[in-house]
Structure 1
Amino acid sequence: MSTDPAVLVDDAPPGVFVSFEGGDGVGKSTQVALLGHHLATLGREVVVTREPGGTPLGLELRRAVLHGEHLDPRTEALLYAADRAHHVASLVRPALARGAVVLTDRYLDSSVAYQGTGRGLGADEVEQLSLWAVQGLLPHVTVLLDLDPAVGLARLTGDPDRLESAGAEFHRRTRAAFLARAAADPDRWLVIDAAQPPEDVAALVRERLAPLLGAVGAS
C-alpha cells in the first residue's frame, strides 16, 4: 500500500498531520509541546494528542495495555489497533477536516516497530492491521527521534511500563525497525539525532514542516 500521505480513503484533508516516533525517553513529548506552542503563536489551530490515550476510551486502553495484567502479543496489538481506530475516527480526522495541525506522540509506526518487530508478530501483518483500523490515513510527516535505547531509557523516571521494561534486545530491535521504515520512505520521514539539544531538534522539525505550513518558517 502506498505511503503517500495524499493517498487516503477520501480526498486529502486540508489540515496537516504530524507524528513523532522513536524509543522511550527520546524526547517526543517535549518536541510535540515545543512545536505546538510555536504553531499556536502563529495563529494555527493545533491539536496535540498521543497514542494510546488520546481520547477518554484511549485512556482506559492505555491503562490496560501499559499498566494492566500480562497480555499476549496479539492481544496487545489488537488493543493498540482498537485505540487507534477510535482515535482517528473521533479526533484526528475531524481536526484535519477543519484545517487543524494535528501533532501526535506515536502513531501506527510504533505498532509496526513494537508489536510487529519487537514482539515478533510480523511487521507487514501489524502494518496492515493498523492501516485497516485508520482507513489508510498516514501522517504528512513522521519525525523519528533517534537515540541509543540505553540512553533513552536512562532518562525515564518513575516505574517502567510493560514496554519500557521489555529488555535491551527488544529495544534494539524496535530502534532498527524505526530506522528501516524511515529509510524506505524518506518523503514521509524526518530522522533526527535526539542527542542534540531540544531547541536544535525543534528547529530541524520546523524547517521540515515549513513548506507544508505556509507561513511557518524555520525560525
Structure 2
Amino acid sequence: MSPDVMGLGEVGPEDVVPEPARSARGLFVTIEGGDGSGKSTQAALLESWLAGQGRTIIHTREPGGTDFGLEVREIVLHSRGHITPRAEALLYAADRAQHIATKVRPALARGDVVIQDRYIDSSVAYQGSGRVLDGAEVRKISEWATEGLRPDLTILLDLDEDEARARLDNAQKRFDRLEAEKSDFHRRVRESFLAIAAADPVRFVVIDATKPPEVIAQLIRDRISTLL
C-alpha cells in the first residue's frame, strides 16, 4: 500500500501543536476497526474496568460525541442524498474539530481517561482508502482540525471483512451508508488500518477480533496498564 493510502509522513512538525507530557494530562485511548469488529463492546468493558480502578472516564465516539456531532452523524450515516467523498471527509473533520475542542481536550486537561470509538485513523481508512481519496490529505485536514492531538494508545480490532459482514447480518440491524458498502470497500478499509498500525507500532496494539470478547478485554487491559 502506498504512503498516500496510509496517510503517514505528510505532516511536518510546524503543522502539529505539541502535546503536553502525559503526566500533565489524562490518557487518550482510541478504538479502531471495521464495522462489526466489536468496538462498542470492548469500549464498554474497558470503561467498566477503568472505573473499577478509580479512574474518571469519558466514553465518547466520532461522529456523535457532541450535539453538533449528532447532527453530523445523521447526515454522513443516514442521508438519503448523495454525498461526495470529499464532502464526506470534510464533514467528519468538522465534527472532529468541535468534538476535540469542546469535549476531549477539556477532559484530558482534568486528568480523565478518554475512551473514544473512532478518530483520525478511521477517516484515513474509510475516506482515504474506502473512498479512494489521498489518505495523507485526509489525515492532514483532521490534524489541522484537532490541532495535532494524538492518542496515547490506539486499539485496532482486526476482523476479516466477510466475517464482519456476517456479524452485521446476524445483528439484523439497518445498515448505515458505510456499513452498506460492498466487500471491496471494506477490504480496502481493513488493509488501510493494518498498514497504518504497522507504520506506528508504538501507538497501536492490533488484536484479532475473532477471539472471545473476554480474551480481547484482557489483552486490552494488559496493554493499557503499562500507561496508567
- TM-score (normalised: structure 1): 0.93
* Correspondence for 2:202 among 187, 192, 195: 187
- Other-structure match for 1:202: 217
Separation in 1, partners of 2:119, 2:138: 12
- Other-structure match for 1:87: 99
Amino acid at match of 2:142: S
Deviation at 1:11, TM superposition (A): 2.1
- Other-structure match for 1:128: 140
Superposed counterparts of 1:1-219, under 5 Å: 8-12=17-21, 13-68=24-79, 69-156=81-168, 157=171, 158-213=173-228
Q: Percent identity?
A: 59
Separation in 1, partners of 2:19, 2:194: 29
Separation in 1, partners of 2:226, 2:53: 15
- Count residues with an aligned counterpart: 211
| Secondary structure of residue in 2 paired with 1:70 | coil
Separation in 2, partners of 1:78, 1:171: 20
| Secondary structure of residue in 1 paired with 2:227 | helix
* Contact persistence 2:31–2:117 (CA under 8 A): yes
Separation in 2, partners of 1:16, 1:111: 22
- TM-score (normalised: structure 2): 0.89
Deviation at 1:108, TM superposition (A): 0.6
Separation in 1, partners of 2:159, 2:176: 19
Deviation at 1:166, TM superposition (A): 1.2
Separation in 1, partners of 2:141, 2:166: 32
Amino acid at match of 1:118: G
Deviation at 1:9, TM superposition (A): 3.3
Separation in 2, partners of 1:71, 1:147: 27
Deviating beyond 4 angstroms after TM superposition, the runs of 4 or more aligned structure 1 residues are none
Separation in 1, partners of 2:165, 2:121: 19
Deviation at 1:8, TM superposition (A): 4.5
Structure 2 gaps, min length 5: 1-8
Structure 1 gaps, min length 5: 214-219
1:139-194 Cα distance to aligned partner (Å, 9 max, x none): 00000000011111221231111111111000000000000000000000000000
| Secondary structure of residue in 1 paired with 2:97 | helix
| Secondary structure of residue in 2 paired with 1:212 | coil
* Contact persistence 2:19–2:149 (CA under 8 A): no
- Other-structure match for 1:216: none
Deviation at 1:14, TM superposition (A): 1.4
Amino acid at match of 1:201: I
